[in-house]
Structure 1
Amino acid sequence: MAYLDEFLLIALAHFFAVASPGPDFTIVLKQSVQQGRRNALWTSFGVGLAILLHVSYCLLGVAVLLTQSPNVFMVLKYLAGAYLAYIGVQALRSAKPAPAQQEIVLQSQGVESSWIAFRRGFLTNALNPKATLFFMSLFTLVISQSTPLIVQAGYGLYMALATWAWFSFLSLVLSKPSVRGFFQKSGYWFDRGIGVILIALAIRIVV
């Protein structure tokens, strides 16, 4: 109870951060529509687990190193931008199927392995400088230095579980047959749109 006010502040800040559109939402949307519910849930799990990575380096003090080393943070930004741009270019390169092949293409989607789906989610969040800045701010400005490490770790575990739950919920909604059918009617243009968004996010991260 002594840390209830601090926890509520962290939970509120995390809610607005995780609910705001960004790379995590875009990749979960892409997986939900193109790959289906199972893969989207694995992607959501990857996003949630990556939160523990951010929490771990904050607890270990690496966040202080990042704030004092612009070059290291710049490398992280370029890695994140390159990864998102790569996914975006892959989406832009998707060929428009012939009408007779459309049904075959839709049925063939969903063959991506659970490991690849998990990796997409994990890397998208782990390399996201926005997430890095958010957790650095929390652990250096919001959370008191007198807060025990075990309590700070509890905050991190909550944020990881909350992130996983949020994106799993989105996966369940976005992967419904009616929602997937809406997007897949113009799957070619959906791919192109997602590609443009991912590349725009990559440019925004770098700039």
Structure 2
Amino acid sequence: MAWSEIITFTFVATLLVISPGPNGVLIAKTVPTSGRAAGFANVLGFITAFYLHGALSILGISLLLVQSAFAFTLIKYIGAAYLCWLGIKSLIAAFKGIAPATNIAPARHKRTLFKAYLEGLFTNALNPKVSMFYLAAFPQFITPGETALSTSFLLIFIHSTLNAIWFGLMVILFSGLTKFARNGNFQRWLKGVTGTVFIAFGIKLASFRP
């Protein structure tokens, strides 16, 4: 694989990573109430999901999802339902309200690292658009005669590393603002925005056509 192809893929993947999406919203919701470690657990879940989608793409299972209308629709609606479920939970928490004079104590709403990891994993694992990105990207950057397996995992590694860097920086940023972000009024506003965005992404995913 030539360096020009690696640089091109890195540029395309970077645009995908930094574009607004549910991953950034999940980080913004997790870090203020559960801490930096939980945010990094979210990121680890993201990366695991990327390798899962990459493995499925390499093995050809994702191709079945694209070719089978039923399989694609099933995975798509499961992912959309999960995003909408997260959104509804956040909106309920926002409408319940938090007294202006109170602050959210970290321990009251703290996620375990495993739960934070699962949230990051499922947010991406149930999104068939990740597999479709790999299915579209792999053939473009694999030179005939190369070992498709090693080249594909190189591309997955690049994509995962970009995600780790970008969202890792986001975790550090939000952890630095934790004292302000734990304010009750800010949390209510954040939960409302988070819920709205997650539901919007869920509806967008449900209406997505390959």
TM-score, scaled relative to structure 1: 0.89
Deviation at 1:164, TM superposition (A): 1.7
CA distance in 2, matches of 1:163, 1:181: 26
8 A Cα contact 2:35 2:106, kept in partner: no
Q: Give 1:14-25 correspondences, 5 Å limit.
A: 14-25=13-24
- Corresponding residue for 2:128? 129
Deviation at 1:145, TM superposition (A): 5.1
- Corresponding residue for 1:81? 80
Residue type at the aligned position of 1:60? L
- Corresponding residue for 1:157? 157
Residue type at the aligned position of 1:41? F
- Corresponding residue for 2:51? 52
CA distance in 2, matches of 1:201, 1:127: 12
Residue type at the aligned position of 1:192? G
Change (3 A) 1:147 1:71: farther
Asked if residue 91 in structure 1 is aligned to residue 90 in structure 2, the reply is yes
Change (3 A) 1:145 1:80: farther
8 A Cα contact 2:54 2:156, kept in partner: yes
CA distance in 2, matches of 1:155, 1:141: 11
Deviation at 1:71, TM superposition (A): 1.8
Change (3 A) 1:109 1:39: farther
Unmatched 5+ stretches in structure 2: none
CA distance in 1, matches of 2:179, 2:158: 30
Residue type at the aligned position of 2:69? P
SS at match of 1:111: coil
CA distance in 2, matches of 1:118, 1:30: 14
Q: Give 1:1-207 correspondences, 5 Å limit.
A: 2-94=1-93, 95-99=96-100, 102-103=102-103, 105-109=104-108, 111-144=110-143, 146-148=145-147, 149-177=149-177, 181-182=180-181, 184=183, 185-207=185-207
Deviation at 1:144, TM superposition (A): 3.9
Deviation at 1:25, TM superposition (A): 1.4
Deviations 1:63-117 (A, max 9, x none): 32222112211111101101011111111111212345x22x3343552100000
RMSD of equivalent CA atoms: 2.0
Residue type at the aligned position of 1:108? A
Number of residues of Structure 1 aligned to a counterpart in Structure 2: 203
SS at match of 2:105: helix
CA distance in 1, matches of 2:72, 2:205: 12
CA distance in 2, matches of 1:3, 1:192: 46
Unmatched 5+ stretches in structure 1: none
Counting aligned pairs with the same residue, the percent is: 25
Deviation at 1:180, TM superposition (A): 5.4
